[in-house]
Amino acid sequence: MNGKTLAELTARVLKHRDERDWAQFHTPKELAISLAVEAGELLALMQWKSGAELADYLAQRREAVRDELADVLHSLLLLANDLQVDLGDALEQKLIKDAAKYPIEKSRGQAKKYDEL
């Protein structure tokens, strides 16, 4: 992120949006849809590939991967701003919840859901 904070990135995407008068189109529903669509576009880059083939494919398409990740972050920052969610705080709180659901001694090296541990 070139050392930029979430607040700085949010200010940048809001400026970009406001300069174009796009806020009128950015309802929470539309931003959530955009987030899912952009995540789907990222996933599409990986579909039907695995292992070394996937690693090579992604390395060759690094710019496309960066663009899709940026699109996901863009939508996420706008949505969090509009819903007044502090993403840093939300992540910290979620990690606390996950730590309780996935204690290290039970979950380390496991790909099981918390109710299967």
Residues 49-87 pLDDT 10s: 999 999 999 999 999 999 999 999 999 999 999 999 999
Residue 1 in this model has a pLDDT that exceeds 70: no
Q: Taken in order 43, 49, 51, 53, is the CA torsion positive or negative?
A: negative
Is the pLDDT assigned to residue 97 strictly greater than 60?
yes
H/E stretch holding 39 reads helix 28-44
| pLDDT higher than threshold 60 for residue 103 | yes
Pinpoint the residues of the chain covered by CATH 1.10.287.1080.
Answer: 1-85
Give 17-41 pLDDT, tens digit per residue.
Answer: 999 999 999 999 999 999 999 999 9
Cβ within 8 Å of residue 69, ≥6 positions away: 42
Please tell us whether the domain made up of 1-85 is placed in CATH 3.40.50.11260.
Answer: no
- The contacts found for 43-51 with CB under 8 angstroms, 24 or more apart, are none
